[in-house]
Amino acid sequence: MPSQFESMPSSPALLHRRQWMAMALTAGAATALWPAAHAVAVQVTPSATPQDQLIMGISMNNLLSLDPAGATGNGVVEIAANLYDFLIELHPEDTTRIEPGLAQRWEVGADGRSLVFHLREGARFQSGAPVTAQDAAWSLHRVLRLNLALATPWKGYGFTAKNAERQIRALDERTLRIDLPIATDPKMVLYTLATSVSAAVLDRQTVLLHEKDGDLGAAWLNTHAAGSGAFRLDQWRAKEILMMSRFDGYWRGPARLRRVVMRHMTESQSLRLMLARGDLDMATGLSVPDIQALKTTPGMVVHTVQRGTMYYVAMSMQDSKFADPRVRQAVRSLIDYQGIDRAVMPFYGRLQQRPVPLGLSATLPQPGYVLDVPAARALLAQAGLGDGFDTTIRVVAEAPFINIATSVQSTLAQAGIRASVLPGTGNQVYGAMRERKFEIVVGRGGGGAEPHPHSSLRALAYNTDNRDAARLTNFQGWRTGFYSPRLNGMIEQALLEPDPGAQQRAYQAIQRVYEEEVGPILPISQMVETVVYRNTVQGYVGHPSATTRLHGVFKASAPLGAAGHG
């Protein structure tokens, strides 16, 4: 372990650093016992972390794999964006603006059915091998051959394991051609290439050195990396620590930080205390009271960025009760949207009751759902459930999920629906969804990384095959058993509409039909990620698609004044 921190100063400072390391490696177990009043009294101290390292406190509960073919969740996207490069990127302040990555330029065919990328010279993997178009093509072939969760968008564009090598091919060392098997909106394909972990370009030779039994390196890549990004992976221990160190041969030039250390921490009081006394530089997942307090603390910056994913209440239409649209409508009337927005969601999300994210031209105004217990009772009576019923709510045992679930449990009870809350890990909750073995889930999902209505609609409402055997597990519409041929057709047609005005109207019509059919996934809030960091941290820009890159981040040598808000 000392070699991981070889730049630490000696003598008394070294002793302090070693004390910090020992404390950090216990993930703040002792500090979790401090009462809230104690944390309030702590004053911000000069940074105790190494000057050339960024120490982050984050939740890794949903970080299950680092393999770009199968890793899901926002947490892994930021990690992948620093270990790997993508062909293209989206500008963090205007996500409709596509910028060069490994590809310095590209063309879209006149018919919208082909994409040609010209890779830059000089880019190398961390192994020292040059990045080639063959690596880029093989990386996408691998996603389709393994057919894990991240293959879903590519299959939606018509790619399969059988046609991948024909449709995605290197014309030479620097030229990649992608021919779209079916008609689609090429903007969506570009956005996916810029935002999906599946689009990371892998070092083919290194991965195949670790192949076992034809797995294309999948077992090895669960806990290792083979990229060309600004940082290389030193180690990852699940739900404990992830460490990355600077790749000095990076084609954009070496990162300003020598190392990034991510600690698994979920207790807000511990995060707040460690930020205040300089044991952490940055943290996510703090509670609203702790964020509010840190927002007014000198030396702290509260940075928020709107994501495209939704917090939602989802019902399983595999359950006979929720197969009845009157019951789903009753539940829709038994959510205190405004109360949750005021009390639970500050710094976590913004009120949104539509399946299309805020900020897009096609997004309709809010439908105006409110808590209406009499209306819900009447609907339940019409469905023959006037006495209510028993059910369960599965939820990740973290804020704000558990707070939303508690609110929903309370308001459901007002109409006689007796709900037991079943907290668990992300794998337990979403695993039950993937197996279609749940009744109600309070969760977060949808597309939204791509700034296009199809991204969320594909994730939340689209389901082309409702059979259990279809196993469309990455479509949340399939997970809930929602199957609407009418909506499927509308979504497919809207994607192909070449006229922007007509396409916008088509997506607005889809939102109205989803409301009319009472889709079982009820959006309640659009995700906002809040990052709190010490103001010695400079150059940090959170990305709406979660592809936040740390290449330009550095630490000033001294605190830079008062609290801030980003």
Digit-by-digit pLDDT tens for the chain (566 residues) are 333 223 333 333 333 433 333 333 333 333 332 333 333 444 555 657 899 999 999 998 888 899 999 887 778 999 999 999 999 999 999 998 999 999 999 999 999 999 999 999 999 999 999 999 999 999 999 999 999 888 988 998 999 999 999 999 999 999 999 999 999 999 999 999 999 999 999 999 999 999 999 999 999 999 999 999 999 999 999 999 999 999 999 999 999 999 999 999 989 999 999 999 999 999 998 998 999 999 999 999 999 999 989 999 999 999 999 999 999 999 999 999 999 999 999 999 999 999 999 989 999 999 999 999 999 999 999 999 999 999 999 999 888 999 999 999 999 999 999 999 999 988 899 999 999 999 999 999 887 789 999 999 999 999 999 999 998 888 899 999 999 999 999 999 999 999 999 999 999 999 999 999 999 999 999 999 999 999 999 999 999 999 999 999 999 976 555 445 55
Q: Residue 1: what pLDDT?
A: 32
**The domain made up of 2-56+230-299+552-565 is a member of CATH 3.90.1150.10:** no
pLDDT of 9 reads 32
Quote the pLDDT of residue 209.
97
pLDDT score of 232: 98
Own/partner long-range contacts of 247-253 (Cβ < 8 Å, ≥24 apart): 247/126, 249/124, 249/126, 249/128, 250/551, 251/120, 251/122, 251/123, 251/124, 252/551
Q: Reduced to 3 states, what is the DSSP secondary structure of residue 171?
A: strand
Residue 212 exposure: Cα atoms within 13 Å on the Cβ side: 6
What CA–CA distance (Å, rounded) separates 560 from 537?
Answer: 9
CA distance 542 to 532: 11
* Residue type (1 letter), 440: I
Beta bridge partners of 109: none
DSSP code for 348: T
Q: How far apart are CA 427 and CA 75, in angstroms?
A: 14
pLDDT tens for residues 434-470? 999 999 999 998 877 899 999 999 999 999 999 999 9
Cα dihedral sign for 497, 364, 347, 408? negative
Per-residue model confidence (pLDDT) at position 82: 98
Residue at token pair 């404990």: 240
Summarised one tens digit per residue, pLDDT across range 42-64 is 455 565 789 999 999 999 888 88
* Structural contact between residues 211 and 478, judged by C-beta atoms closer than 8 angstroms: no
**In CATH, what number does 74-221 get?**
3.90.76.10
**Is 306-527 CATH 3.60.70.12?**
no
For residue 438, CA distances in Å to 140, 191, 355, 421, 557 come to 33, 32, 21, 12, 51
Q: What is the pLDDT of residues 149-172, one digit of tens each?
A: 889 889 989 999 999 999 999 999
Report the pLDDT value the prediction gives residue 39, as an integer from 0 to 100.
36
pLDDT for residue 491: 96
Contacts with 286 (C-beta within 8 Å, 6 or more apart), sequence order: 268, 271, 272, 294, 347, 530, 532
Beta bridge partners of 391: 419
pLDDT confidence of residue 103: 98
Query: Residue ranges per domain, the chain?
Result: 2-56+230-299+552-565, 74-221, 306-527
- Separation CA 466–CA 463 (nearest Å): 7
Q: Which residues of 11-22 are buried (b: 16+ CB within 10 A; e: fewer)?
A: eeeeeebeebbe
Residue 371: which of 313, 310, 306, 443 has the closest Cα?
A: 313
Helix, strand and coil percent figures for the chain, each rounded to 5:
35, 20, 45
- Whether 355 and 310 have beta carbons less than 8 Å apart is answered as yes
Position 152 scores a pLDDT of: 85
The predicted structure's pLDDT at residue 6 = 31
Q: Please tell me if the domain spanning 2-56+230-299+552-565 has the same topology as the one spanning 306-527.
A: no
DSSP secondary structure of 467-513: -GGG--TT-HHHHHT---HHHHHHHHHHHH--SHHHHHHHHHHHHHH
Q: Tell me how far apart the alpha carbons of residues 70 and 359 are, in angstroms, rounded to a whole number.
A: 29
Burial 470-486 (b: 16+ CB within 10 A, else e): eebbbbbbbbbbbbbee
- Of 402, 392, 507, the C-alpha closest to 444 is 402
From residue 186, give the alpha-carbon distance in Å to each of 17, 69, 117, 189. Answer: 51, 22, 13, 5
Could you tell me which of 431, 395, 465 has the C-alpha nearest to residue 152? 465
This prediction has a pTM of 0.83
